[in-house]
Structures are given as structure tokens and as C-alpha cells.
Amino acid sequence: MKKILVLHTGGTIAMAEDSQTGEVSTESTNPLLKVSQSVGLETELIVEDFFYIPSPHITPKHMLALKERILSALSEGIDGVVITHGTDTLEETAYFLDITIGDKIPIVITGAMRSSNEIGSDGLYNFLSAIRVAASDSALNKGTLVVMNDEIHTARYVTKTHTTNVATFRTPTFGPVGLVNKHNVSFYQQLITSHTLDVTTVDARIPIVKAYAGMEGSILDILSESDIDGLVIEALGAGNLPPQTLPAIDNMIASGIPVVLVSRCFNGVAEGVYSYDGGGIQLERKGVLFCNGLNSQKARIKLLVALNANLTKDELTEFMIEQV
Ligand SMILES: NC(=O)C[C@H](N)C(=O)O
């Protein structure tokens, strides 16, 4: 029998709807605790009510605490970890665990779009699916996975795409890596291994800025002056910026602030294609770091980890631009 560590952190999966007002909020005790011991699967669950908060309240410090609990549990004979989490920031926590823990043990994160007492509530079903995946031998060496709505996604590429639909978690460009079927857990894609970096701190100020038609450099100048440690820009198309932003980008890079670029497009990867003013080729030559295939919130987590891992400038560049 597999031994699975369950860490509940809160979110809609652990909330209830008030039948009078329709408001959804946390209860006096997490409703998932009632079901955790009687799920009827052939697994031993070690359940911890780790946090009980909505996921917009999750910070990198919470992610670090989860990472430390999982690492300490490795010596407790567990076979896998399931984390229940609010869906709003689930992908960030998942990616943080993926790049700091790697594939030491299967880690599966799940949540729900409907609270525990709503008609069609997806929480218990997703929770059971997550346990099945974490307990499956096929989940070994795959890093952190996100299981929702019968699909298995990598932490690296999955993103929340819909405000309310239960099929909200999608992997643009690449698709899900596996399925939770009635009787089996099946993977259909071979995963690429990326570098992991363990960190003990998560201190860095890294804003995300989205590029738009007519964007000027002044917003970037304001950020430069406000003591930031790095910047993530959601650039246009294949990875281009309006030319008016270039002086501000130059100043930032000259003052040692890493500038990381992803595309604001939902599909595809950012790369240097154009050599016109503000085109990706120019940006790459200036030292802008193209973070391949990640969305901005995950590129931010990656830079946060890199800045806390005491890397040299060259190591940081290599880590941020690796092709994953
Ligand atoms: N479906 C959810 O879990 C959304 C909720 N706002 C949360 O992230 O905590």
C-alpha cells in the first residue's frame, strides 16, 4: 500500500457556499478533513491541514514552507505528495515546487472550481484523482504535476484559462501529458528534465509588466527607481517591444537588473526573430533574457528562485534561457 502525504492549503476545494447569500468562503474547519480518511482508495494517507487560506493569499513564503515540509517528509517513507490548493495561484506554487524539488518524489497539486457543497462540485473527484496519480508508478520521475478534471498537466506549462469552468486548467501549445481514466493513470508524453535549484529564501522584488501598442519607457523608469531586483515583461508576439521602451530597458540592464521576457501570446514561445527597432533580435543583443515557453507568472517564479540561489550572472542567464 502506497503512503501519500496530503497537504491541504485551502482554496475553493475547501470552501462552502452559503445557500442564502451565495457567498463562497472558508468554514470553521476545512471540509476536506472529513473525507481525507475515508476515500476508499488503497493508499495510506497522512493528512496535514497545512494552511487554510484562499490562494490569492499565498506568497512565495508559503511555497517555501510547502517545499521544506515535502523535503523533510522524504525521510518519513512516503511514496508521493498531494497538495490541495486554490486555483488562482495554483500554477505558481506547482512550478515553484517543480524547480526547487524536481523529480525526487511524485507531487500532485489539485483544486476545484466549485466549492464543497455546490451542485456538481468537482473537489472530491479531483482530490481522489490526484491521490491516484501520486500513488501511481507511472508518476515517478515526472516532477510536480497538476491534476484537474481527468487531465494530468506539467507544473511547468499548465495555466488557469477560465474564471469558472471546471475545465479551466490547460497546457497551451503542448497539451496535457496524461489522463486519469476510470481504471488507469496513463501518460502519453515523455517529459524533458529541467534544472532544479534549491533555495532557503525567497526575497526579491520582481514585478510583471505587460507590453501594449504605444507603450513608453516611463513606466519602466518608475520601476527602475523603485528598488526592484528583476523585471518580467510580457512582450508582443514572438518577443518584441515598442521602440520607445528601449532606453529604459538599456538603463535597467546597465544597472544590473535582470530583464526577463516572455510573450503575451497564449500559445508559442518567445524568440528573437525581428531585427527592427524593438525587435527580439535587438532585445537579445541588449541582454534581455528570453524565457522560453513559460508564462509571465512562472518566469517570475523562476527568476525569484534564480536570484535567491546566489548564481553568478552567467549562471543566472543560462538558467533563465534554458530551452524547456
Ligand atoms: N477555484 C478557486 O480555488 C479560486 C479561489 N479564489 C482560490 O484560488 O482560492
Task: Tell me if 166 CB under 6 Å of ligand 1.
Answer: no
Catalytic residues, by residue number, are 12, 87
Pocket test for ligand 1, best of 15, 25, 58, 87 (most atoms within 8 A of CB): 87
Task: Report how far apart, in Å, the C-alpha atoms of 185 and of each of 69, 101, 160, 182, 243 are.
Answer: 26, 23, 22, 8, 49
Sheet holding 107-110, edge to edge: 43-49, 2-8, 80-84, 107-110, 144-148, 151-154, 178-180, 185-187
Is 261:283 a contact under the CB 8 Å cutoff? yes
pLDDT at 37: 62
**How many whole angstroms from 256 Cα to the centroid of ligand 1?**
36
pLDDT at 38: 54
pLDDT at 27: 85
List the domains of the chain with CATH numbers.
2-187 (3.40.50.1170), 208-321 (3.40.50.40)
Task: Tell me if 150 CB under 6 Å of ligand 1.
Answer: no
Longest dimension (CA), the chain: 62
What values do phi and psi take at 290, rounded to 5?
A: -80, 115
121 annotated as a binding-site residue: no
Q: What is the pLDDT of residues 250-309, one digit of tens each?
A: 999 999 999 999 999 999 999 999 999 999 999 999 999 999 889 999 999 999 999 999
Q: Which of ligand 1's atoms lies nearest the C-alpha of 53?
A: 9
Q: Mean pLDDT, the chain, as a whole number?
A: 95
Task: Tell me if 113 CB under 6 Å of ligand 1.
Answer: yes
Task: Tell me if 54 CB under 6 Å of ligand 1.
Answer: yes
Between CA 168 and CA 159 the distance in angstroms is 8
Between CA 40 and CA 30 the distance in angstroms is 20
pLDDT at 192: 83
Low-confidence residues of the chain, pLDDT below 50?
none
For the entire predicted model, the pTM comes to: 0.96
User: Which protein residue has the closest C-alpha to ligand 1 atom 1?
Assistant: 113
218 annotated as a binding-site residue: no
Task: Tell me if 123 CB under 6 Å of ligand 1.
Answer: no
What does the CA dihedral 246, 250, 251, 253 come to, rounded to 10 degrees? 130
